[in-house]
Amino acid sequence: RNITQHYVLIGFNELSINMIRELYNECSSARILLMSGIEAATVCHRIQSALPIEIERQVLVYFGNIESIEELQRLNIASASEVYVLGDEERCGRDAKNIAIVHLVSALRGKCPDGKVMPVYVQFDSIPSYSNIQKMNLPPEVFCIEGKPNIFFRPFNLHENLARQLWSLYAADSERYYDPLDYRPISITQQPDGSWNATSQDYVHLVIVGFNRMGRSLLLEALRICHYANYDDRLPTDERIRTRITLVDREMESQKDYFKAQFPYIESQIDDIEVEYCHDDICSTAMRTRLQQWAQNKHCMLTVAICVHDPDLSLSLGLNLPHEVYQHQCRVLIRQDFNNDLSSIVDDEQGRYRYVKVFGMVDRGMKKNILQDKLALYVNYLYDCCYTDESLKQKEVLRKMYESYGNHSADFILMNHQAQYLWNKLSEPLRWANRYQLDAYSVFCRTLGYGIKRSERSPARISESMFNENLPSQVLCLLVRMEKYRWNAERTVAGWRRAEVKDKVFLQHPLIMPFNELLQKYPEEVEKDADVILNLPYVLALGGYELYKLADQ
């Protein structure tokens, strides 16, 4: 009872060691209380074998029934700063049990006299259950006491976060560098006649081997971010340059229908990406021949992601692809559950396997910042100020917020509080729409020749004013087109379908359409996509990131 402002971990699984390390790095003086239905001696031994003694000393391990409110009372949740509901490993129905535990955590949290809600991060294992929870709002009794929210429910999925850390904005915080899918940026350049256009014939081709949880997460992330400036919907259909995604699995026939039932509109509504499902073995003669052809295509930016369950088989497959894959400097990603000596050797190899990297290690797999919503709430604040609340109507709210950010003036504190308030009352589906918008920022920036990194306020950085000054109207229009197709894809993955009338209950939206059609029918809607681009540097700056010229790195 004397421990306060501590972290609480409920359950012990493959992610727990990683989270303990992340929490210690955030606040080394805070205690970490962990309760699990696994024997305490077993949990302690695994912590001792994986973490240095200074971190181990901050962890108190309790053995108990994590689904019992009486047992959870021992964790002093009312005085905790954050709670992580992870669930115990190899427990059947872990996702459903984790939701039930959230209700218990809210009851133990009690009233919030200061009005400050406590973050509760909840792990979901199953992609379908995770996708469903993103579409729904929890009933108030789960997170409210006497009608007032006392916790902030934040679901997450390990495999999705591993995918987001590969290629999205959050790659800037990763300990390992991974080449983006557009490793030759599809840039917008000025033409001899003075106009601006993306004339590159290059395209991204992602081959995913293994249609398991990791493979599906990579697919969904690629669908959200792989929208490039050289896709032009004014051209004839067969002349348009699309991203290609090829999924290869020996059991594809039994998995494809189930996946399509969960995400039924991918092929009909995401115009700038082609998805192919291959019921085949990556080692078959036919697949190896196709890999050779793709690798030799000078316009194809090929990335092969090996996601099979067996780590030894995964390494073997990734290191024995057709030699053309390595010779033509295609990128190869090999999933490994845990870092090991062989993985390190592969990562450090500078010869044949220079562009082969391992990824997805759960022991160092997930940065805490990907769970925090600082940037997403600013995205939502902009939208609310521009389009939702007439009393707030101000286009340059993020620029004003940024200008008052350095000295933390009263204006900044007020706007930040307002942004947090609006975020807390936002529905769960709309929170995810804001979170996923951030993932594509790195693609937008690479299109302009910029990279994103953690801010150190270097003199060579691209300032916010420079960003907007370097956006001629034609360049902005191309970026807006990219944002439109990103939005189409994000809404489609979230389960929305095109219809004449918007319906939030049945997930129908009239604006899921090609960009050129939008210009003709609803030109006023393009303004929203332009706001995303024009405010991008302010969102990044408020989140602690900065832009730099790729040529300077």
Residue-level pLDDT at 140: 80
In terms of DSSP H, where are the helices of 320-440?
A: 323-327, 341-348, 374-383, 397-403, 410-424, 428-439
Residue-level pLDDT at 363: 74
| Amino acid type, 396 | E
- Least trusted range by pLDDT, from 23-37, 272-286, 351-365: 351-365
Span 88-111, average pLDDT: 91
- pLDDT (tens digit, 9 = 90+) per residue, 289-315? 999 999 999 999 999 999 999 999 999
Span 60-76, average pLDDT: 97
Reported confidence tier of residue 1, pLDDT bands at 50, 70, 90: low
- Candidates 3.90.1300.10, 3.40.50.12500, 3.40.50.720, 3.20.20.450; CATH matching 161-368: 3.40.50.720
Q: For residue 261, is pLDDT > 80?
A: yes
Domain ranges in the chain?
Answer: 7-156, 161-368, 371-552
Q: Which fold has domain 7-156?
A: Rossmann fold (3.40.50)
- Domain 7-156 and domain 161-368, same fold? Reply is yes
- pLDDT (tens digit, 9 = 90+) per residue, 335-386? 998 877 777 788 777 889 999 999 998 876 678 889 989 999 999 999 988 8
Residue-level pLDDT at 185: 95
- pLDDT (tens digit, 9 = 90+) per residue, 216-247? 999 999 999 999 999 999 999 999 999 999 99
Reported confidence tier of residue 76, pLDDT bands at 50, 70, 90: very high
| Amino acid type, 402 | Y
In the chain, % of residues over pLDDT 90: 78
- Count Cβ atoms below 10 Å from residue 181 Cβ, excluding itself: 23
Span 433-449, average pLDDT: 96
Q: For residue 273, is pLDDT > 70?
A: yes
Task: Give me the residue label for tokens 């699995």.
Answer: 249
Residue 228 sits at φ, ψ, to 5 deg, of -120, 165
Nearest-angstrom CA–CA distance, 343 and 349: 10
Reported confidence tier of residue 458, pLDDT bands at 50, 70, 90: low
Helix (H) or strand (E) holding 161: helix 158-167
Stated length of the chain: 553
Q: How far is CA 136 from CA 44, 50, 139, 509, in A?
A: 37, 37, 9, 17
Residue-level pLDDT at 21: 95
Q: For residue 445, is pLDDT > 80?
A: yes
Strand partners, 452: 547
Q: For residue 388, is pLDDT > 90?
A: no
